[in-house]
Amino acid sequence: MMKQICFLVLILCYSCGYQPIYDIKFKNNLEFKEIIIGGNNNLTQRIIKAINLQKNSSNELLDEIRINTELIVEETSKNSKGQIISYRTTIKAEVKIIDKNKNLRSQKFSQNFSYNSKENKFELINYQKEIENIILEKLIEEIALYLNLK
C-alpha cells in the first residue's frame, strides 16, 4: 500500500510540470541592456555566470542591471591571550534594476556564517574559502529568485 501511494505521488509530481522554485540551473538567459558590476569583482562575476546574465546592448527595450558585492570577514571573539577564536564571514549584494523609463528597483541581499578559528592557518584559509562558496551559493539562489520574479 505504501509503495502504491509513493508511486502515485511521484507520478502526480512529474505529470503536473512541477519544478523547484530554487532551481538556479536556468535554461534561458536573462538579458539586460547593460550589466554594471561593482565591489568585489570576483564574487560579482561568479553571480553573473551562475545566473547566466547576458548583455544585449542592441535591444533598447531591455533593462539595465547593477550588481555590487562585498565580502566581510570579521573577528567575533578573542580569548584572554588576545588570540582570535571565532570569525563571521558575510557576503552582501545589492541588485539595482533600471528600466527603460529610468525607474529604479533595488534589493539588498546578505548571507553570513559564524565559525571557530583553527590552529593551522592553512586549514583556516581553506575553510574560509569553503564557507565563502557555500554562502555565495545561497546568495545566488536568492538573487536568481528575485530576478525570475521581477
- CATH classification of the domain holding 120: 3.30.160.150
Tell whether 82 is covered by a domain.
yes
Q: What's the pLDDT score for residue 30?
A: 80
Name the grid cell of 12. 502526480
Task: Give the list of residues 6+ apart from residue 77 with CB closer than 8 angstroms, or none.
Answer: 84, 85, 86
Q: What pTM did the predictor assign?
A: 0.76
The domain total for the chain is: 1
Encode burial over 110-126: b for 16+ CB neighbours within 10 A, e otherwise: ebeeeeebeeeeeebee
Look at residue 3 and tell me if it is in a domain: no
Identify whether the C-beta of residue 65 lies closer than 8 Å to the C-beta of residue 31: no
Q: Which residues of the chain have pLDDT under 70?
A: 2-3, 6-29, 150
pLDDT of amino acid 16? 57
In a domain, 1, yes or no: no
**Averaged pLDDT of the chain:** 85
Residue 55's pLDDT is: 86
The pLDDT score that the predictor gives to residue 7 is: 63
18 lies in some domain? no
Is position 17 within any domain?
no
Spatial distance between the Cα atoms of 97 and 103, rounded to a whole number of angstroms:
8
Identify the domain containing residue 35 by its residue range: 27-148
- Give the pLDDT of residue 27: 45
Give the model's pLDDT for residue 8: 61
The H or E element spanning position 120 is none
Q: Is residue 118 part of a domain?
A: yes
* pLDDT score for 43: 94
Compute the C-alpha angle 41/42/48, nearest 5°.
85
Decide if 66 is inside a domain. Answer: yes
| Within a domain: 15 | no
